[in-house]
Structure 1
Amino acid sequence: MPSQTVFRLTSRSGFDGLQAFEEPIPTPGQYEVLVKVRSVSLNYREVSIANSRYPLPVKDNVIPCSDMAGEIVQVGDRVKGLSAGDRVLSALSDQMLYGPFNAAYDTYGSSQDGMLQQYIALPAHGVIKLPDTSHTLTQWAAVACTGATVWNSFYGGIPLKPGDRVLLQGTGGVSLTALTFARAAGAVTIITSSSDEKLEYVQSKFGADHTINYKTHPNWEAEVLRVTNGEGVDHVIEIGGEATIRQSIEAVTHGGVISLVGFLGGRPEGDKPDLTMMALLKNCCVRGIVGGSKQLLEQAVRFVGRRGLMIPIDRTFGYSRDEIIAALEYVAAGKQIGKVCINLD
């Protein structure tokens, strides 16, 4: 039986638990497709899982990673609408087809095996056929989870409108994807970072309208209010979590939206503010975002394809244990400007 190289987390106390195994190439069931994985994109989620900080269930010896773009090499007997040779994208879960996330859903790379393998059999209903564009499969892999997350943030609730102001925290994959989508939708963008060099690059390369160094301006919410003439922003992509949510509420306009996407800031010391009262007085919507449904990802893919958008990719790594660990360490250190991908070719 033909075999493939897969990577599993044999322990969750760091990246050293990542080990390579030779396993059979799966045979697709009658409603499945066999996909040759071409590129896998990384999220901070993989770092959290490897270090036992992920808040949702993770199976033992899991194959990491949820985001994949590849080519179908075989289809099950009962599959319709997909053929060998089609380029496809994976969704976070083959159970979350539409509607909000439910903690009971299995998700790739955590409660079920993920994409860090050369071939994977997937339910046909869970993959998205990619449009015929000039995008490479690496560029499409960068759209998967972050694209669905950002689309959910902007259009899963109160929708983003042309002329809205959007605040983006940091220069990672979610924030740079949000910057790309927001600019294409006609929004005014404000992005934060601790690095002037990163901010200058993002402004010159990707067209951010305003930049704020949160080291230089620790009370960065005041800077947001300054550049918005005291009005605040309509949407916040909240990455820091508990460490930054107070400032995000201060920065959002009355009736604005804060999309809680990440928890990178850890837990702050000292007294905690009354966030309930702050949100109430701002009359703002605070939404928890766990990825996005297949339906939302399909909409994001259509937007990217028709507008010819390119999600920023900072760096790509090869498909070896050393390279994958180096990629995870790079993401963990927060060095990237945009997405980080593993290429299997």
Structure 2
Amino acid sequence: MSTQTVYRLASRGKFENLQPVQEPIPQAGKYEVLVKVRSVALNFRDIAIAKDIFPLPVKENLVPCSDMAGEVVQVGEGVIDFCIGDHVIAPVSLIVLYGPVKDEDHSLGGSVDGVLRQYIVLPAHATVKLPQSPHTFSDWAATVTTAYTVWNAFYGCQPLRPGQTVLLLGTGGVSLTGLIFAKAAGATTIITSSSDAKLNQIKLKYGVDYTINYRTHPDWATEVKKITAGQGADHILEVGGVGTIEQSLESVAWGGVVSVIGFLSSLMDDKMPNVTFQTLAKGAILRGILAGSKQQLEDAAKFIGKQNLSVPVDKTFPFTREGVISAFEFVASGKHVGKVCINLD
């Protein structure tokens, strides 16, 4: 029987616990496809799980990671929408086809084994065929969580409109994907970072309209109001969490949307922000985003392919134990500008 290399977290707490093991290559069953994984993209969620700081339940002896792009190499009985050779991606949750993501049930790399392996069997109904485009497998792997999370934030509630202003926190994959989508939608864009070098890089590469260094301007909400002539931002991608939510709510326009996506920051002191009053005072929508549905992933992929949008891949690593651990360490260091991928070929 043929075997494949699979990475498992025998125990959580440190990246060195990522161990390659040999396991049988599975076969596609009825209504399933076997996918050869070509590239895997990392998220902060993967770092949190490996370091055992993720707040939700995690499967023991987990195969980590949720985002991959690959090629169909076997089609199971009853599958009519896929052929051998099709390039595909899959949503993090294999059971949420449309509507809201309710929890971590059946989420790759969390409650079920993920994609850091050479081959994976997927339900055909939960697999997304990629459009023809010049994008690489790394590009597409990097769009999975970022693209449909951003699509959900911009179009899952109150749609982003041309001429509106979008505020993006930090220079990670979600924020840069949000920047790219917002620019393509005709919005004015503002992005924050603690690094002038990163801000200059993003301005040159992605054409962001305005940048704010939040170390130079710790009261960055004031800078947002200056840029917007006192109006504030119509959409905010809030990836910081409790440490930044107060400033985000100060920055949001009347009736605007703050999409809470991440939990990267912590409180600077023991004072909790008055989220209830701030939201009420602005008539704002404060909305939690748990990634997106398969339908939103399909919509985002079509948008990327049709517009031939650039994808924020910062660095790639090889599918060796040294390469895998280095990729996790690089993301954990916060030095990346965009997405980090592990390439299998």
Q: Per-residue deviation at 1:267?
A: 3.4
Structure 2 counterpart of 1:66? 66
Structure 2 counterpart of 1:19? 19
Q: Per-residue deviation at 1:268?
A: 3.4
Structure 2 counterpart of 1:189? 189
Equivalent-residue separation in structure 2 for 1:267 and 1:298 (angstroms): 36
Structure 2 counterpart of 1:203? 203
SS at match of 1:92: coil
Amino acid corresponding to residue 226 of structure 1 in structure 2:
K
Question: Are the aligned partners of 1:162 and 1:186 in contact in 2 as well (CA < 8 Å)?
Answer: yes
Q: Which runs of 5+ in 2 are unaligned?
A: none
Question: Are the aligned partners of 2:193 and 2:199 in contact in 1 as well (CA < 8 Å)?
Answer: yes
Which digits, 9 at most, give the CA deviation of each residue in 1:292-316, with x for residues without a partner?
1000000000100100012111000
- 1:45-124 alignment runs, 5 A limit: 45-103=45-103, 105-124=105-124
Matched, 1:265 2:265: yes
Structure 1 counterpart of 2:38? 38
Which digits, 9 at most, give the CA deviation of each residue in 1:235-283, with x for residues without a partner?
0000110000000000001100000000000233222232101111111
Which digits, 9 at most, give the CA deviation of each residue in 1:93-146, with x for residues without a partner?
110111101126210000000000000011011110011111111111111111
Equivalent-residue separation in structure 2 for 1:338 and 1:288 (angstroms): 22
Structure 2 counterpart of 1:143? 143
Percent pairwise identity: 55
Question: Are the aligned partners of 2:40 and 2:68 in contact in 1 as well (CA < 8 Å)?
Answer: yes
Equivalent-residue separation in structure 1 for 2:280 and 2:75 (angstroms): 52
SS at match of 2:145: helix
Q: TM-score, normalised by structure 2?
A: 0.99
Equivalent-residue separation in structure 1 for 2:258 and 2:326 (angstroms): 33
Question: Are the aligned partners of 1:72 and 1:83 in contact in 2 as well (CA < 8 Å)?
Answer: yes
Structure 2 counterpart of 1:5? 5
Mean alpha-carbon deviation: is it higher for 103-112 or for 113-122? 103-112
Aligned-pair RMSD on alpha carbons? 0.8
Question: Are the aligned partners of 2:93 and 2:104 in contact in 1 as well (CA < 8 Å)?
Answer: no
Amino acid corresponding to residue 50 of structure 1 in structure 2:
A
Q: TM-score, normalised by structure 1?
A: 0.99
Matched, 1:245 2:245: yes
Equivalent-residue separation in structure 1 for 2:267 and 2:24 (angstroms): 43
Alignment coverage as a number of residue pairs: 345
Equivalent-residue separation in structure 2 for 1:92 and 1:104 (angstroms): 9
Equivalent-residue separation in structure 1 for 2:289 and 2:242 (angstroms): 15
SS at match of 1:243: coil
Question: Are the aligned partners of 1:242 and 1:268 in contact in 2 as well (CA < 8 Å)?
Answer: no
Matched, 1:29 2:22: no
Structure 1 counterpart of 2:282? 282
- 1:145-160 alignment runs, 5 A limit: 145-160=145-160
Are the structure 2 counterparts of residues 173 and 34 from structure 1 closer, same or farther at C-alpha, using a change threshold of 3 Å?
same
SS at match of 1:7: strand
Equivalent-residue separation in structure 1 for 2:341 and 2:6 (angstroms): 16
Structure 2 counterpart of 1:323? 323
Q: Which runs of 5+ in 1 are unaligned?
A: none
Structure 2 counterpart of 1:227? 227
Question: Are the aligned partners of 2:104 and 2:110 in contact in 1 as well (CA < 8 Å)?
Answer: no
- The 4+ residue runs of structure 1 with deviation greater than 3 A are none
SS at match of 1:211: strand
SS at match of 2:242: helix
Amino acid corresponding to residue 152 of structure 1 in structure 2:
N
Question: Are the aligned partners of 1:56 and 1:103 in contact in 2 as well (CA < 8 Å)?
Answer: no
Q: Per-residue deviation at 1:222?
A: 0.6
Equivalent-residue separation in structure 2 for 1:267 and 1:249 (angstroms): 15
Matched, 1:291 2:307: no
Equivalent-residue separation in structure 1 for 2:272 and 2:33 (angstroms): 50
SS at match of 1:241: coil
SS at match of 1:242: coil
Which digits, 9 at most, give the CA deviation of each residue in 1:61-114, with x for residues without a partner?
110000010000001011111011101011111101111011262100000000
Equivalent-residue separation in structure 2 for 1:83 and 1:90 (angstroms): 16
SS at match of 1:143: helix
